Amino acid sequence: MEAYPAVVARGFLGKRSYKSDDKRKQTPEQQAAREELLEGLGSGAMRAAYGLVVEMDGVWREDLARDRSADTLDSVLCAVQAAWAYTKRDEGWGVPARCDREEGWVVDPTLLQVSDGAGSVNGRTPPA
């Protein structure tokens, strides 16, 4: 299993950027995106997609919104994927049965839709 925080973020932001390690590329729009993402983590849409919501106090929320690198926010997003996978522990941890077990799989409910049911998972055909 793998976690990839951008997958969770894209569910709320599309392809809009929410972070940058390069200080010259950090923008007010990214902070607004982080705030929107944090709002989404506590929303009904989050519950519908992941079966859980993330609750945090105002101090945590402000710190996460201000952190332009979003390293801590990425950790929260990874924890969301891990928590969702845990809820699927009796169902293969959210990894499709036909997934190539030699490769990693990013555990996320949105990625289960990528498996086409004909043996192809994320564009790969697992070995027979």
Confidence of residue 34 (pLDDT cuts 50, 70, 90): very high
The 10 Å Cβ neighbour count of residue 112 is 14
CA 50/CA 85 separation, integer angstroms: 9
Confidence of residue 70 (pLDDT cuts 50, 70, 90): very high
Residue at 121 is within a domain: no
Residue at 46 is within a domain: yes
Residue at 111 is within a domain: no
Confidence of residue 105 (pLDDT cuts 50, 70, 90): confident
CA 103/CA 19 separation, integer angstroms: 28
Predicted local confidence at residue 27, as pLDDT: 94
Confidence of residue 114 (pLDDT cuts 50, 70, 90): low
> How many domains does the structure of the chain reveal?
1
Q: What are the tokens at 109?
A: 């409910």
Residue at 90 is within a domain: yes
Q: Taking the model in full, what pTM does it have? A: 0.83
Predicted local confidence at residue 126, as pLDDT: 33
Residue at 14 is within a domain: yes
Residue at 102 is within a domain: no
Residue at 66 is within a domain: yes
33 Cα distance to chain centroid: 15
Residue 11: domain span: 5-94
Predicted local confidence at residue 111, as pLDDT: 84
Residue at 40 is within a domain: yes
Q: What are the tokens at 15?
A: 């392809």
- DSSP codes joined into one string, 61-77: HHHHHH-TT-HHHHHHH
SS3 content of the chain, % helix, strand, coil (to 5): 55, 5, 45
